[in-house]
Amino acid sequence: MRYLALLLLLVGLAAHAQEETSGTTPSGVWYRIAVPAGWQAGDPLVLFQHGFNFSEADGPPSLGPLRDVMLSEGYAVAASAYAQRGWAVFTAIEDNRELVDVFTARFGAPGEIVPFGGSLGGLLALKIAEAPGFPPVRGVYSLCPAAAGSRLWDHAIDMRLAYDVVCEGSGRLPEGLEPLPWALDLDDIPSDLDDLGNQVEVLRALIPLNQCTGVNLPEPLRSSGMKRRLAQLMAVAGTDDENFFVTNMAYAIYALSDLVRAPDKLGGRNAMTTRGVTYADPEIAAGIARIDADPLAALDLRWRSDVRGAIGSAKVLSLHTSDDQLVVPANQDVLRRRLPAQQLTSAIVAEQAPTHCGFTEVEGRAGWEALREWMRSERQPRPENLQALCQTMQAAGVSGECRFDPAATVPALDSVIPPRPALAVPDARYSGLWFDPVRAGEGIYLEILDAGRAHLYFYTYPGQGVPGEQAWLNAVGQVVDGGIVFDEVTRPVRTATVGGGQVFVHEPWGRIQISFEDCDSGHMRWQGPDGWGTGEVPLTRLSALEGLSCDSVGTSPPPQTSGAWFDPAFTGSGFLVQQLGNGRSWVGWFDAGANGVQTWAENTIEPGVSPLVLYRRLGTRFGAGFDPQQLIQTPWADVGLQISCGDTGSAQVQVRTGQPTPAPEFDLIRLTRPAGLPGCTP
């Protein structure tokens, strides 16, 4: 690596891009791209992620502090300004996908990408490595990343509500609309507040903060009450630096309000909770408002914000300054717990005075070159290697100190931000039928699968303007703390072609999120296309798999037929089976239909009853148009179903007169096996 560093220093780092271009994507988001001489399709691309910006983008973004270095080494560099201001996690991944599409159309497809950013940008660089739909990610360069994600907003709500306790009667803040008075209305956020790190801008806007704490006054002019209140709030903020304190309070007041209120973020839903949280300050513990999160809003914020660790084979090099009091070094604790050790190099730079991302030029360059060497050679660098490389580059003329500290430790995140109450994490016991009791006649069949995945069938009715009498949706999603997220829900249909034939397709439909309070109850939120809309309903468990009920912890369920079954010759149709115990099973039939008209039917098999009669329910519409009083139950078909707990089976279907007609016989194979069910022994 020493030879590599010296060689790179001889390269003409002042080399200019062969071409630099900027503009807006089809969605209207500003971008900037620089491509070096000789770059061609298949060469690497750096996606630079900028940090938290509280102003709307009014021009092309920066390409980052290593632009010239990267171009001289043959990397193209591109950056998006993001469609959102502030906590831009709700659109930034799609903004980057669109940026890659623009880049590919202009210059050719990159062979690999390297996401790079600091602060919020460091988090987004990690999120890109987890996201599907990008060229291969070989490495991630993440500086002072906000890797704690949603937990940082737990810290913000603690500061915001502690302010109301400490500053009662002295410097109260404006209140927003109920039921979230602690979140300013968007019109009350100053329109000229561009940089929350700018002390002059913030203190000009936050007059109540100065009235309460005197933080903008010389020490002799502060009253004893101001000093006491300032010390209390700085302890909650976890800072001993007044400039960082002011910035932290600006995030807790203005950025938190924008996150909660902005229609393109949480849209008026609260994702934070203080109920059940332990606070060290007795006055704050006794007086702080105890609020409850909207569980679906909290799930959405975690999904968009948190690092989950699914980074494929990417190598991550992440640096933090030791006394960062905005994005604290405990964020590295999150990375060290969630990423495989062999894919993460996490290092601390020892500083004498607190900074946020205050790396020297040579430290930033050393981290980048160490990552490049790691991507090429598979030799993972350690903090002592970074320090040695930094000193070599320093001796060769790159400016700045080298302060990598191999002995540095980072605190656990929960020691810095008080932990929240534990969340229900869906496991194998959550498989089964779920519904809203006031909307009987529609519901979901949920299967928890292995590897943190889940399978969903939503049996319901057509949206407004959608043909047919029934509808069903299908998705595979990801289990996360507190729920499941289905980001790519589809509507499987057969549609007519120009020649009159039928083509089976999964029409993109939208998103579904499910949060759980416990093993028997939860909430579901959907975001569908035109005619379907957005809605939310409570969920109650209707059934569970045999041996996997909520109280079955530690029991061993028997091998069984539960799961999804289909005939490969008839793609787009199949059976769902849920073995309930005592000889009973629930069976559902789903078919993509013809000309976009779907069909489903279901019933429960009772012991000794044959054949099974499946019933269709008809007469209502999806969403707000749903009326259970209009539903009519109609016999659809007599079904003979022969399947075992193995992987094959058969079905014979005799359709009743006037009902949609599928094939009469099916040779079935197992499509899914719910988690927690043992396989069959020969």
pLDDT, averaged in runs of 10, over the chain (682 residues): 40 63 97 97 98 90 97 98 96 98 98 98 98 96 98 98 95 93 94 77 84 93 96 97 95 96 97 97 98 97 96 97 98 97 98 97 98 94 98 97 97 97 94 96 96 96 94 96 96 84 91 96 96 96 93 82 94 94 94 92 87 94 94 95 90 92 93 91 62
Comparing CA positions, the residue from 140, 143, 71 lying closest to residue 372 is 140
Q: Measured between alpha carbons, how far is 673 from 563 in angstroms, rounded to an integer? A: 5
The partner residues of 652 in beta bridges, in order of sequence, read 640, 665
- The first and second tokens of residue 257, run together, are 């309000």
Residue-level pLDDT at 4: 44
Q: Measured between alpha carbons, how far is 163 from 263 in angstroms, rounded to an integer? A: 26
Residue-level pLDDT at 200: 72
Comparing CA positions, the residue from 545, 581, 582, 539 lying closest to residue 429 is 545
Residue-level pLDDT at 480: 93
Q: Are 275 and 180 in contact (CB under 8 A)?
A: no
Whole-prediction pTM value? Answer: 0.93
Return the half-sphere exposure (C-beta side, CA atoms, 13 A cut-off) of residue 388. 10
The 10s digit of each residue's pLDDT in 337-391 is 999 999 999 999 999 999 999 999 999 999 999 999 999 998 999 999 999 999 9
The Cα diameter of the chain in Å comes to 92
Q: Are 139 and 374 in contact (CB under 8 A)?
A: yes
Distances (CA, A) of 513 to 276, 482, 489: 25, 10, 10
Q: Is the dihedral of CA 453, 454, 455, 458 positive or negative?
A: negative
DSSP string, 647-679: SEEEEEEEEPTTS----SEEEEEE----TTPPP
Beta strands 344-349 and 315-321 are parallel
Angle at 180 between CA 178 and CA 181, to 5 degrees: 75
Comparing CA positions, the residue from 7, 53, 5, 2 lying closest to residue 30 is 53
Q: Give 3-state DSSP helix, strand, coil % of the chain, rounded to 5.
A: 30, 30, 45
Residue-level pLDDT at 11: 42
Q: Measured between alpha carbons, how far is 236 from 542 in angstroms, rounded to an integer? A: 44
Q: Measured between alpha carbons, how far is 312 from 318 in angstroms, rounded to an integer? A: 17
Name the residue type at position 341. Answer: A
Residue-level pLDDT at 682: 57
Q: Measured between alpha carbons, how far is 159 from 249 in angstroms, rounded to an integer? A: 7
Distances (CA, A) of 486 to 370, 475, 508: 37, 6, 12
Q: Measured between alpha carbons, how far is 146 from 259 in angstroms, rounded to an integer? A: 15
The partner residues of 494 in beta bridges, in order of sequence, read 504
Domain residue spans of the chain: 2-149+306-416, 151-303, 428-670
Q: Are 407 and 322 in contact (CB under 8 A)?
A: no
Q: Are 642 and 669 in contact (CB under 8 A)?
A: no
Correct CATH for 2-149+306-416 of 3.40.50.1820, 3.90.100.10, 3.40.718.10, 1.10.645.10: 3.40.50.1820
Residue-level pLDDT at 554: 67
Q: Is the dihedral of CA 302, 304, 310, 315 positive or negative?
A: negative
Q: Are 213 and 233 in contact (CB under 8 A)?
A: yes
298 DSSP 8-state letter: H
Q: Are 117 and 143 in contact (CB under 8 A)?
A: yes
The 10s digit of each residue's pLDDT in 171-224 is 989 999 999 999 999 999 987 787 887 777 788 778 999 999 999 999 999 999
Long-range contacts: 484-487, Cβ < 8 Å, 24+? 484/426, 484/446, 484/454, 484/456, 484/513, 484/514, 485/299, 485/303, 485/511, 485/513, 486/454, 486/456, 486/511, 486/512, 486/513, 486/514, 487/511
Name the residue type at position 236. Answer: V
Long-range contacts: 67-73, Cβ < 8 Å, 24+? 67/34, 68/13, 68/14, 68/15, 69/13, 69/365, 69/368, 70/46, 70/368, 71/15, 71/16, 71/17, 71/34, 71/36, 72/11, 72/12, 72/13, 72/14, 72/15, 72/36, 73/8, 73/11, 73/372
Under the phi-then-psi rule, with left for phi > 0, alpha for psi from -120 to 50, and beta for the rest, what region is 619? left
Q: Measured between alpha carbons, how far is 83 from 193 in angstroms, rounded to an integer? A: 18
Name the residue type at position 161. Answer: L
The partner residues of 330 in beta bridges, in order of sequence, read none
Length of the chain counted residue by residue: 682
